[in-house]
Amino acid sequence: MSDAMPTVETLRWVGDCDGELVLLDQTELPVDCLERHCSDLESVCEAIRALRVRGAPAIGIAAAYGVCVGLCGMADRDVAGLFERLEVVVERLAASRPTAVNLFWALQRMRSRAEALRASTSATSIRRALLTEAQAIHAEDREMCRAIGAHGAPLLEDGMGVLTHCNAGGLATSEYGTALAVLFTAEEQGKRLRVFVDETRPLLQGARLTAWELGQRGIDTTLICDSMAAQVMREGRVQTVVTGADRIAANGDTANKIGTYGLAVLAEAHQIPFYVAAPTNTFDMTLESGEDIPIEERDAREVTHGFGRRTAPRDVGVYNPAFDVTPARLIRGLITERGLISPVTMESIAALVAQPTGVPRSGETGKVS
């Protein structure tokens, strides 16, 4: 299949409250552009675990729709049974991935919406309300991504070299992205950027997804191995680094795809500003620092069998953390839908998160209680 593929939606809901979630299967990109239909709870959980849908905002949206999928077919009068089933659904979805806080935020929001309707005599009306809530989460993410782009674009100048890691574009969100929203908006403003994309090992989200997305928009893109970033910086090809985030602690310590911390260290060594772009529902104000962020460890075969072929000796020990934590002191600024946080301190974060806005804050995050 040609690389010049049409723009597709990361995820969408089809039908009424007994409908289904349709996902772009990101494990097939960039070779094939295939959709996966999720009409039962296990298929949604599997899609999240297997990275068919990935990126903190997109995982949160998928989880919200996953609640609706898990409640399909409930009898109209069985309100008590619906709430019993809801607990099972939320627990299963919460166990699918541990690091992306948007997953837990979305599940808590869906549960709170259901609790507000507990007195209802109709399970169907509750399920309709939950679908509306999931659709609202989806729509709000589109708005947040656009706002992140608007706040971040002024940080980039025409002709600038920008380095990014993993995928924080439309494939990781509802439409426009977080880190890539900054780049897309700058390009729309007439700025021409030179974007360097880390492969992002071991699953190559940068090579498979980010390079594909940037190519779809005609942006000057150069793919590099993760280990080449230092040389590219030393040669003066990069003037700023922008990444996304999966969870940000109250002090600004940020969890993102493995390799991000190393980039931040390199950026500091070369006096290059390092920015993180993320919506405020990625902040976990219940955690004081990144030391408390749970780090997912994934299957060793992702390292020993790159895309199906053995690339390591049999029985070799493997450590495969999916994320690392970048200390706030290495981050020049956090780009959010409410504005830029710089310097990155506990006080500046608290002040911005406390601002009233039409876009909901994360509330209690990090767990589903």
* pLDDT, tens digit (0-9, with 9 covering 90-100), for 96-126: 988 778 899 999 999 999 999 998 779 999 9
pLDDT: is 176 or 120 the higher one? 176
Average pLDDT of the residues in 158-166: 98
Q: What is the pLDDT of residue 352?
A: 94
**For residue 93, what is the domain's CATH number?**
1.20.120.420
* Pairing between β-strand 20-24 and β-strand 11-14 as defined by DSSP bridges: antiparallel
Q: What is the pLDDT of residue 76?
A: 83
Give Cα 157 distance to the centre of its chain: 26
Q: What is the pLDDT of residue 8?
A: 60
Q: pLDDT (tens digit, 9 = 90+) per residue, 279-302? A: 998 999 999 999 999 999 999 999
pLDDT bucket at 355, cuts 50 / 70 / 90 = confident
Q: What is the pLDDT of residue 1?
A: 31
Query: Would you say how long the chain is, in residues?
Result: 369
Determine the Cα–Cα distance for residues 112 and 121; give it in Å rounded to an integer.
Answer: 17
Same domain, 176 and 136: no
Q: What is the pLDDT of residue 277?
A: 97
Same domain, 62 and 120: yes
Q: pLDDT (tens digit, 9 = 90+) per residue, 233-265? A: 999 999 999 999 999 999 999 999 999 999 999
Residue 55: what are its φ and ψ, rounded to 5°?
A: 95, 130
Residue found under tokens 């506990």: 346
Which residue type does 202 have? Answer: P
Residue 226 lies in a domain: yes
Q: pLDDT (tens digit, 9 = 90+) per residue, 180-203? A: 999 999 999 999 999 999 999 999
> In this model, does residue 93 exceed pLDDT 60?
yes
Q: pLDDT (tens digit, 9 = 90+) per residue, 218-228? A: 999 999 999 99
Beta bridge partners of 324: 256
**For residue 344, what is the domain's CATH number?**
3.40.50.10470
Give the best-scoring range by mean pLDDT among 26-40, 43-57, 172-186, 254-268: 254-268
Q: pLDDT (tens digit, 9 = 90+) per residue, 311-344? A: 999 999 999 999 999 999 999 999 999 999 999 9
Residue 348: what are its φ and ψ, rounded to 5°?
A: -70, -35
Give the chain's domain count: 2
Residue 5 lies in a domain: no
Same domain, 32 and 160: no
Residue 2 lies in a domain: no
Same domain, 193 and 342: yes
Determine the Cα–Cα distance for residues 202 and 306; give it in Å rounded to an integer.
Answer: 7
How many CB atoms lie under 10 A from the CB of residue 60? 27
Determine the Cα–Cα distance for residues 279 and 288; give it in Å rounded to an integer.
Answer: 18
Give Cα 174 distance to the centre of its chain: 10
Which residue type does 364 have? Answer: E
Same domain, 186 and 328: yes
> In this model, does residue 75 exceed pLDDT 90?
no
Average pLDDT of the residues in 79-89: 95
Same domain, 161 and 203: yes
> In this model, does residue 362 exceed pLDDT 70?
no
The average confidence (pLDDT) of the chain is: 92
Same domain, 128 and 152: no
> In this model, does residue 369 exceed pLDDT 80?
no
> Which residues in 4-21 are b (16+ Cβ under 10 Å) and which e?
eeeeeebbbbeeebeebb
Residue 363 lies in a domain: no
Would you name the residues annotated as active-site residues?
A: 246
pTM of the model: 0.85
Same domain, 183 and 141: no
Same domain, 277 and 184: yes
Q: What is the pLDDT of residue 308?
A: 82
Residue 3 lies in a domain: no
DSSP state for residue 139 in the 8-state scheme: H
Determine the Cα–Cα distance for residues 122 and 63; give it in Å rounded to an integer.
Answer: 23
167 close to 213: Cβ distance less than 8 angstroms: yes
Contacts of 99 (CB under 8 A, 6+ apart): 246, 247, 255, 293, 294, 295, 296, 322, 323
Q: What is the pLDDT of residue 356?
A: 67
Q: Which of 145, 164, 188 is the C-terminal boundary of a domain?
A: 145
> In this model, does residue 145 exceed pLDDT 90?
yes
Average pLDDT of the residues in 65-85: 93
Same domain, 130 and 238: no
Same domain, 186 and 238: yes
- Domain limits at 345? 148-353
